[in-house]
Chains A and B, each alone.
Chain A
């Protein structure tokens, strides 16, 4: 006979109770044939083992305690009654050869536990108790987790509906009123799932397909309103659908494994493998999509090419009339390492109404490019399709921020006619140089030299940290140079308003023509040659010499030249008789116009230095 205590853990009381039971059977049956008693004991032993296993399946306790054992023995009945049954109405004993002698080697098979709602450890549905018994963890802890994570309560209700009741499982699923209710609830749930799940799944696949076509560039061949558009709600919906479908798959799998079929009745596990692969592909597509569209707002609409998936691109558009792009915010291209080239096709719709309507809707466009230090990078922003030339950006503005030690060159071609659109390229060269840009241009660099040449535009702004700036042949209404540490050299500058500032460095300008000019150096010399200032100028250095050769001083113009510490030398061309005011605390003054006749229309020169000589000379 199999000794149960070799396979199961008993408490002392439980073991004693079992031993007493067997001893009583033997004692009661001392007048019966011993082989009958042995056979009876063998059968009872088998019964007790099966009972023990049944109890262990639904319990988190692996040890058989006295209560458990007494429950089993009580249901078996009194040993005296059991043995007396052997003798009841006994007929003659006949030998039957068909009875098989025991010849199977005993082996221990672990108890297979069942996940169900506990009937013992139950507060509401018994879900936490069931999990606690199944996994051998604290049910109180689980209750806290369910209650304190807001979604947990929903999960709890869902699990309560899906996980069967302990008593129902024990009774082998015999039909009862409760079962009917559960089956109705499950049917309703399945219906609900069909209503919500299938459309969401379709939405998910549409969105995933869009991402995929965007990734491989297929959308170029497809009309944008169908696949180019990825409304924000689809993308946000995808996350929900994905997590939901994975959760459902998991729950269904549990149902399949434990209760002969989940609510989806999908059958083989291959279905799950397939669904999991599809979901994973979907997730990776969504991630790829999210990585490249980290911000898509509201009724936004975007369309772009990129050869590399590395950069992150933020584009915000909104559509007010069919297929007319209205660009309201900026496009930001942030390049990252190991990117060879990025091509952005900003214009999105392939067709639209007439040019006037389109112009009315278009607004300023600003492109901001931020690059990471690396060897080579090429940005191309272009409008390739002639049919898209309706889209006109009246004030095109490029802001290029280039980090330290990046050697590059910025170029843009002429923006002909109304189509203020062109291309931009940053190449591997020693300095930053800007040329041939016919639009508002702002260049910001750090710790590198800048060069701007042949520029004709509304605005040119060069902002640098440590590095020199060179400007040649520019015709810009609003011209600004600002450098922290570096010299500025400007040639052939024609502007309405020019402002050149450097914190530490010399400023040298040849042929500068401006209505308003401001040249300021904190520490450094300022030298202007062939300067023509029409209205007003302010030339100042805190510590440094100032030398100006004027080409022309317009009547009524006013000029302020000042240095805290430094000499000032001005050369005035012939035929001018300016009104000169000088002041210096320490130093000599030589003014050749001291006694010159001046009129109301004469240009005014206000020259001032604290420490230094002043010389104002006729040419």
Chain B
């Protein structure tokens, strides 16, 4: 991997990082999900490369009181932590979403060139 590639990878990581929190909040707001499941959704949407970073993100969001979890048994494997969005998280997500739309439309205006 040359310097350019490393730089590129880091930039993409930075770009994604900002929206990743919003994406996770949105995913857990729809229904209760466990970590592996959240990663599957993100992977299918091509939003993550290093799966391991989702767990500290979840811990952080939990510490901030935006999401909370409960344990559930599974008949297919180990017990899992199921994450749900909190009231505070839902409010924050709403604001973040509108902010994201602002950013998106602003960016479009710039990138679009017209």
Contact = CB atoms under 8 A, between A and B. Distances in A.
A102 B59 contact: no
A310 B53 CA distance: 78
Interface in A390-429: none
Given A47-B35, A104-B79, A94 B64 contact: yes
B51 A88 contact: no
Interface stretch (A38-46, A280-288, A352-360): A38-46
A94 to B, nearest CB: 4
Interface string B37-66: 001000000000111110111111011110
Interface stretch (A72-80, A242-250, A477-485, A486-494): A72-80
A82 B74 CA distance: 26
Contact of A81 (B39, B53, B69, B70): B53
A77 B56 CA distance: 12
A467 B39 CA distance: 97
Contact of B59 (A36, A51, A78, A92): A36
B80 to A, nearest CB: 6
Contacts of A386: none
A112 B79 contact: no
Contacts of A50: 36, 77-78, 80
A419 to B, nearest CB: 79
B5 interface: no
Contact of B79 (A39, A96, A106): A106
A112 B77 CA distance: 9
Contacts of A42: 81
B59 A2 contact: no
Contact of A43 (B55, B68, B74): B55
A44 B52 contact: yes
B12 to A, nearest CB: 13
B76 interface: yes
Bin the interface of chain B by size.
20 to 34
B17 interface: yes
B89 to A, nearest CB: 10
Interface in A317-344: none
B30 interface: no
A86 B58 CA distance: 9
B3 interface: no
Interface of B is mostly: mixed
Contacts of B76: 53, 109, 112
Contacts, number: 109
B36 to A, nearest CB: 5
A399 B77 CA distance: 76
A88 B63 CA distance: 13
A183 to B, nearest CB: 21
A85 B57 CA distance: 6
A82 B71 contact: no
Contacts of B74: 109
B53 A82 contact: yes
B51 A92 contact: no
B59 A100 contact: no
Interface residues of A, number: 39
A49 B78 contact: yes
B73 interface: yes
Contact of B17 (A78, A83, A88, A112): A88
Contacts of B81: 42-43, 46
A104 B73 contact: yes
Contacts of B58: 43
A40 B62 contact: no
Contacts of A102: 71, 79
Nearest to A44: B55
A91 interface: yes
Given A50-B77, A109-B77, A100 B50 contact: no
A78 B36 CA distance: 17
B29 interface: no
A181 interface: no
A51 to B, nearest CB: 8
B75 interface: yes
Interface string A28-62: 00000000100110111011011101000000000
Contacts of B78: 2, 46, 49-50, 106, 109
A39 B78 CA distance: 16
Nearest to A39: B59
B77 A43 contact: no
A42 B35 CA distance: 11
Interface of B: 17, 34-36, 39, 49-53, 55-60, 62-65, 68-71, 73-81, 86
